[in-house]
Amino acid sequence: MNSRNNVILKGIAAASGITIGNAFIFSKEKEEISQESIENVGEAIKNLEEALALSKKELKKVFGLAIDKLGEKRASIFEAQMMILDDPILLGNLKNRIKEEKKLPEYIVDDEISKYIHLMNEAHEMYMKERSLDIEDIKNRIIRNLKKKKWKSKISADVIVVTPTISPSDTVLFTKANVKGYVTDFGGLTSHAAIVARSLNIPAVLGVNEATSIIKDGDILIVDGFHGDVIINPDEEKILFYKNKINELNLYDEKLFKLRNKPASTIDGKEICLRANLDLTKEIDLIFRNNPKGIGLVRTEQLFEEYEAFPDEEEQFEVYNSIAQKIYPENVTVRAFDIGGDKVLPVDLHEPNPFLGWRGIRLLLDNRHLFKAQIRAVLRASQNKNIKFMAPMVTSIEEIIETKELIEECKKELKKEKKSFDNDMHFGIMIEIPAAAILTSSFAREVDFISIGTNDLIQYLLAVDRGNEIVSKLYQEFHPAVIRMLAYIIKEGKANDCKVSLCGEMGGDPLAVPLLIGLGLEILSVSPSIVPLIKSIIRKIKYKDALLLADKCLTYTTEKEIINELNLFYNSIIEN
Amino acid sequence: MIEKKVKIINNAGLHTRPAATIVKLAGKYKSEFFIHKDGFNINGKSIIGVMTIAAAKGSELTLTFDGPDEEEASKELLDYFQRGFDEL
């Protein structure tokens, strides 16, 4: 009898649902370079060439954006790294050694490039040690890409992924493979992993300390995403218990599904426009199943992960156009690439503080070609007049004006090219930085709509890094300052005839929904999988009670009081 | 075969940008091109090789060229070294 059997590990319940399956340990750091011998030299060389090509694409993607900002030194390092991937002498040596030694390419790459690294480290000059780190970088990139292929073949549809942490690019890998659940060592409710798991309806328990060291490959796991429990090698009794629970959940889902064609209106007739967020193009089917009033947010940065290189105007046009056609006659709001922070690219730029750095509209306005290609693609997809466009991370009027000028420029170009588009396409901005929140009335006069991004707004308002576990407890969704700021944004926006919506994770929190409606919010965009649940809650609320609830919460000075009040309210509507 | 001695004369020495330029220039010619320093013979058409050379201002290197267009190759590369990698 194994001592791990029936052990329950505790973590953060990050995406609801229950699943039973086999563990697949996905741990990049722990995987060592294999010295395994190979039979098929031709295949090994093909794998090496593919990994080199992929590495080149990645480098271009990262540095293509930043090249003007990097300064000469970093730019020349980038150029040298690109040249290394084409170095005739190095590639010749690698291929010869694979043929002669018949070892895996990852071993040969590691061994051969390390020789150069040792030479550099032997030099006395400090800059040579720095240089060796750059070579180490490119070596690791090639090896990572060699292994990616191996991983891909190992991940199959029925596994539960157990991993230290999930990066945006890993999610693409897992999503394509249709995995059953996620368990991670690190990460919280608003981490990228949690957002993606929730939107795809995949149960996830995150922040389980040492999950990857306790759980072994192939263990049977029960993941309870409601309570944050992970059970290792459960006995028959437990399996039966959870299988029954899964059946009950399916019945409950079916019950919610019956609300599909009913409006999201309160008991006393206040209609709320309930929309869905779209993270991955894959979710579109889930969106239709749950029949929301349109798509309130398309997070386009995910396209960067789905495509290996920058998606060009044509590729983007196809994606946006197909979404717009599918959702017609409802609307879809496309948000411009929000690259930066914890999202997608500039991890490779080594910004000391990426959340306060080069992200969102800042990066876009510095990369006009990229931004214009996106604007043109969105405009072209707007011919049926059901697309809106939105800019992320706005802090100033200048950014709004510049973006509007770019949109006008694109319209002129398209007119010349005789391409059709919606000349009145609505343009809006995200309110996710306190500065923007304070300037809501000024911004509202410049745009057609505003959308509140609660995840970033809360972290910037409270000065808490949501990914930092030491302070993550201070990340309070219901902090009185957050509630009062939301009230202010909604009031100021509406006073200036500007549509106000909310598209952060908060909108999908059942506890928050009555409060948000009471604060005057009429448009809500949430994860597609949670649309039926949120609709069922809205249909149980009395609007006039929600107004009273909001008034009360605005008087409190601690999060605890607010949560108490919300719990009371929630329990009272559930009982009825 | 042509053999030439050169001295590094720019302040920053043989850093990454000139290393990349040297390899690009050498790549235009059919002739073999080697850089010799402190007992190491580095193939001048390999960027990763050239990057292992630590050559500060004042260092001396020997360049060898061997092949059908060695004259032209030596001329262009020698000139680039003597211009201090265009950083004077």
B14–chain A Cβ distance below 8 A for any pair: no
Measured CA to CA, the distance from residue A59 to residue A378 in angstroms comes to 26
Lowest-confidence region among A124-128, A205-209, A210-214: A124-128
Highest-scoring range by mean pLDDT, A36-40, A72-76, A135-139, A418-422 = A418-422
Give the count of Cβ contacts less than 8 A between chain A and B.
55
Q: In chain A, which residues have their Cβ closer than 8 Å to the Cβ of B17?
A: 72, 76, 79
Q: Give the 3-state secondary structure percentages of chain A, helix then strand then coil, rounded to 5.
A: 55, 15, 30
More confident residue, A28 or A386: A386
The pLDDT assigned to A6 comes to 87
| Nearest by Cα to A339 from A395, A302, A301 | A301
Which residues of chain A are at the B interface, by a Cβ-Cβ cutoff of 8 Å? Answer: 72-73, 76-77, 79-80, 83-84, 87-90, 113, 116, 119-120, 123-125, 127-128, 131, 135
For the beta carbon of residue A311, count every other beta carbon within 10 angstroms.
21
Please name the residues between 41 and 60 in chain B that touch chain A, using a CB distance below 8 Å: 43, 45-49, 51-52, 54, 56
Distance between start and end Cα atoms, chain A:
48
Q: How many residues does chain A have?
A: 576
Contacts of A232 (CB under 8 A, 6+ apart): A4, A5, A6, A7, A8, A9, A214, A215, A219, A220, A221
Lowest-confidence region among A39-43, A286-290, A550-554: A286-290
Q: In chain A, which residues have their Cβ closer than 8 Å to the Cβ of B54?
A: 120, 123-125, 128
Distance of CA A388 to the CA centre of its chain: 21
Which H/E stretch holds residue A522? none
CB contact under 8 A, A89 and B17: no
Given the residues A192, A410, A498, A553, select the one marked as catalytic. A192
CB contact under 8 A, A135 and B48: yes
The pLDDT assigned to A251 comes to 85
Strand order in the sheet with B40-43: B2-7, B60-66, B32-37, B40-43
For the segment B39-50, the average pLDDT, to the nearest whole number, is 94
A360, A305 contact by CB (below 8 A): no
The pLDDT assigned to A403 comes to 98
Burial of A36 (0-12, 13-18, 19+ CB in 10 A): exposed
Amino acid at A574: I
Q: How many angstroms separate the Cα of A111 from the Cα of each of A33, A100, A179, A293?
A: 10, 14, 34, 57
CB contact under 8 A, A83 and B17: no
For the beta carbon of residue A355, count every other beta carbon within 10 angstroms.
15
The pLDDT assigned to A430 comes to 98
Question: Pairing between strand A204-206 and B32-37?
Answer: unpaired
For the beta carbon of residue B1, count every other beta carbon within 10 angstroms.
11
Q: In chain B, which residues have their Cβ closer than 8 Å to the Cβ of A128?
A: 54
The pLDDT assigned to A1 comes to 46
CB contact under 8 A, A87 and B19: no
Measured CA to CA, the distance from residue A298 to residue A381 in angstroms comes to 14
A374, A337 contact by CB (below 8 A): yes
Predicted confidence (pLDDT) at residue A319 exceeds the cutoff of 60 = yes
Residue from the list B20, B43, B52 with its beta carbon closest to the beta carbon of A79: B20
Highest-scoring range by mean pLDDT, A143-147, A174-178, A245-249, B20-24 = B20-24
Predicted confidence (pLDDT) at residue A344 exceeds the cutoff of 60 = no
Q: In chain B, which residues have their Cβ closer than 8 Å to the Cβ of A77?
A: 16
Given the residues A273, A410, A503, A553, select the one marked as catalytic. A503
Q: How many angstroms separate the Cα of A337 from the Cα of each of A138, A168, A298, A311, A414?
A: 27, 14, 10, 11, 21
Confidence of residue A400 (pLDDT cuts 50, 70, 90): very high
Predicted confidence (pLDDT) at residue A214 exceeds the cutoff of 80 = yes
Instruction: Give the CATH fold of the B2-86 domain.
Output: Histidine-containing Protein; Chain: A; (3.30.1340)
The pLDDT assigned to A576 comes to 65
Contacts of A564 (CB under 8 A, 6+ apart): none
Residue from the list B17, B23, B54 with its beta carbon closest to the beta carbon of A123: B54
Confidence of residue A346 (pLDDT cuts 50, 70, 90): very low
Q: Name the phi and psi angles at A333, rounded to 5.
A: -105, 115
pLDDT digits (tens, 9 = 90+) for A432-466: 999 999 999 999 999 999 999 999 999 999 999 87
Rounded to the nearest integer, the mean pLDDT of chain A is 89
pLDDT digits (tens, 9 = 90+) for A131-159: 888 888 889 889 988 887 777 667 777 89
Q: Which of B15, B34, B45, B48 to mutate to test the interface with A (most CBs of A within 10 A)?
A: B48
Q: Two tokens at A352? A: 């000391």
Cα angle B12-B15-B16, degrees, rounded to a multiple of 5: 145
Question: Pairing between strand A204-206 and A181-184?
Answer: parallel
Distance between start and end Cα atoms, chain B:
30
More confident residue, A62 or A231: A231
C-alpha torsion angle, residues A148, A154, A157, A160 (rounded to 10) = -90
C-alpha torsion angle, residues A332, A333, A337, A341 (rounded to 10) = -120
The pLDDT assigned to A347 comes to 45
CB contact under 8 A, B16 and A72: no
- Residue B44: closest C-alpha in chain A: A89
The pLDDT assigned to A28 comes to 65
CB contact under 8 A, A88 and B46: yes
Q: Two tokens at A562? A: 């607010």
CB contact under 8 A, B46 and A80: no
For the segment A31-45, the average pLDDT, to the nearest whole number, is 86
Catalytic site includes residue B36: no
Q: Which of A127, A130, A137 to mutate to test the interface with B (most CBs of B within 10 A)?
A: A127
Q: What is the ipTM of this complex?
A: 0.95
Q: In chain A, which residues have their Cβ closer than 8 Å to the Cβ of B51?
A: 80, 116, 120, 131, 135
- Residue A123: closest C-alpha in chain B: B54
Measured CA to CA, the distance from residue A163 to residue A48 in angstroms comes to 26
Question: Is omega for the bond preceding A329 within 30 degrees of 0, making it cis?
Answer: yes
The pLDDT assigned to B41 comes to 92
Residue from the list A83, A116, A124 with its beta carbon closest to the beta carbon of B52: A116
Q: Name the phi and psi angles at B43, rounded to 5.
A: -70, 120
DSSP per-residue letters across A386-416 = -EEEEESS---HHHHHHHHHHHHHHHHHHHH
Percent of chain A with pLDDT over 70: 93
Contacts of A136 (CB under 8 A, 6+ apart): A117
The SS3 assignment for B63 reads strand
Predicted confidence (pLDDT) at residue A198 exceeds the cutoff of 90 = no
Contacts of A476 (CB under 8 A, 6+ apart): A458, A462, A482, A559
Sign of the CA dihedral B75, B77, B82, B85? positive
For the segment A518-529, the average pLDDT, to the nearest whole number, is 94
Q: In chain B, which residues have their Cβ closer than 8 Å to the Cβ of A88?
A: 45-46
For the segment A340-348, the average pLDDT, to the nearest whole number, is 54
User: Nearest-CA distance from A120 to chain B in Å?
Assistant: 5
Given the residues B15, B36, B37, B75, select the one marked as catalytic. B15
What are residue A428's DSSP bridge partners? A390, A449
Measured CA to CA, the distance from residue A256 to residue A262 in angstroms comes to 11
The pLDDT assigned to A29 comes to 56
Measured CA to CA, the distance from residue A299 to residue A338 in angstroms comes to 8
Q: In chain A, which residues have their Cβ closer than 8 Å to the Cβ of B56?
A: 125
Residue from the list B16, B20, B45 with its beta carbon closest to the beta carbon of A131: B16
CB contact under 8 A, A76 and B16: yes
Contacts of A209 (CB under 8 A, 6+ apart): A11, A185
Q: In chain B, which residues have their Cβ closer than 8 Å to the Cβ of A73?
A: 16
Question: Pairing between strand A449-452 and B2-7?
Answer: unpaired
Please state the domain extents for chain B: 2-86
